[in-house]
A and B are shown apart, each in its own frame.
Chain A
Amino acid sequence: TQLLEQSPQFLSIQEGENLTVYCNSSSVFSSLQWYRQEPGEGPVLLVTVVTGGEVKKLKRLTFQFGDARKDSSLHITAAQPGDTGLYLCAGAGSGGSNYKLTFGKGTLLTVNP
């Protein structure tokens, strides 16, 4: 069974601060996705990283996939209240030809104005 550990579990910061959340596993993943989920809604895909060492930027969000494709990080610069939500990482394992997603438990981020 492939497991993804996310840290921290909870994070409360002030507007304008920077933060990093982590997603770690002992398993290798074919790709890793980051989602954001708001209360009462389903997760929304932010980014997919596929290549070991890959870095992707989405405005103030920077995503990195570890060289060994076992871990990933999400860095937010100058956080805003609109960034508040549950951040989930999900690894796509290779079960033959079916890349089933395994989700971490998430990091609940609160950005206070």
Chain B
Amino acid sequence: EAGVAQSPRYKIIEKRQSVAFWCNPISGHATLYWYQQILGQGPKLLIQFQNNGVVDDSQLPKDRFSAERLKGVDSTLKIQPAKLEDSAVYLCASSLRGSGRADNEQFFGPGTRLTVL
């Protein structure tokens, strides 16, 4: 079974530029998550989709970050304009079940490492 795919793996941009990340979840997984992991910290949830609807985006900086999952399968996360503090690894995860279970298992992709200069 193929895992969660993400691209690109690495991206270097200058501040105020825009950038987009792509995620393809495991086939059949209804729930998709985007996390931000700053160096030395654990992942922080940015946004969660159930099919193509947003379940939680309370920690997404909506003035510069946006995400979509139009067909309920793959997803894109965009940053515009980027700031220095956006340098981090952006992880995508998916789960078979919705997040309405305490034992819900999330499967993570390898992440995209973003460096903002």
Q: Min CB distance, B97 to chain A, in Å?
A: 10
For window 72-113 of chain A, which residues contact chain B by CB distance below 8 Å?
A: 88, 90, 92, 94-95, 97-101, 103-106
Contact of B48 with A31 in the complex, beta carbons under 8 Å: no
For the complex with contacts A95-B56, A99-B100, A101-B45, 4 further pairs of A-B residues with Cβ separation under 8 Å are A40-B110, A97-B100, A100-B99, A105-B41
For window 1-52 of chain B, which residues contact chain A by CB distance below 8 Å?
A: 4, 40-45, 48
Interface status of B76 (Cβ within 8 A of chain A): no
A interface residues with partner B (beta carbon < 8 Å): 4, 30-31, 40-45, 48, 50, 88, 90, 92, 94-95, 97-101, 103-106
Report the count of interface residues on B (CB-CB < 8 A): 25
- How many Å lie between the Cα of A95 and that of B42 in the bound state? 20
Which of B65-73, B78-86, B101-109 forms contacts with chain A? B101-109
Q: Chain B contacts of A103 at CB under 8 A? A: 42-44
B interface residues with partner A (beta carbon < 8 Å): 4, 40-45, 48, 55-56, 91, 93, 99-111
**CB nearest neighbor in A for B91:** A42
Q: Min CB distance, B25 to chain A, in Å?
A: 12
Contact of B106 with A101 in the complex, beta carbons under 8 Å: yes
Which of A92, A94, A104 contacts B42 (CB under 8 A)? A104
Q: Min CB distance, A26 to chain B, in Å?
A: 17
Q: Chain B contacts of A4 at CB under 8 A? A: 42
**CB nearest neighbor in A for B104:** A99
- How many Å lie between the Cα of A31 and that of B91 in the bound state? 22
- How many Å lie between the Cα of A80 and that of B108 in the bound state? 24
14 A-B contact pairs sorted by A residue (CB < 8 Å): A30-B102, A31-B103, A40-B111, A45-B105, A48-B105, A92-B104, A98-B55, A98-B99, A98-B100, A99-B104, A101-B45, A103-B42, A103-B44, A105-B41
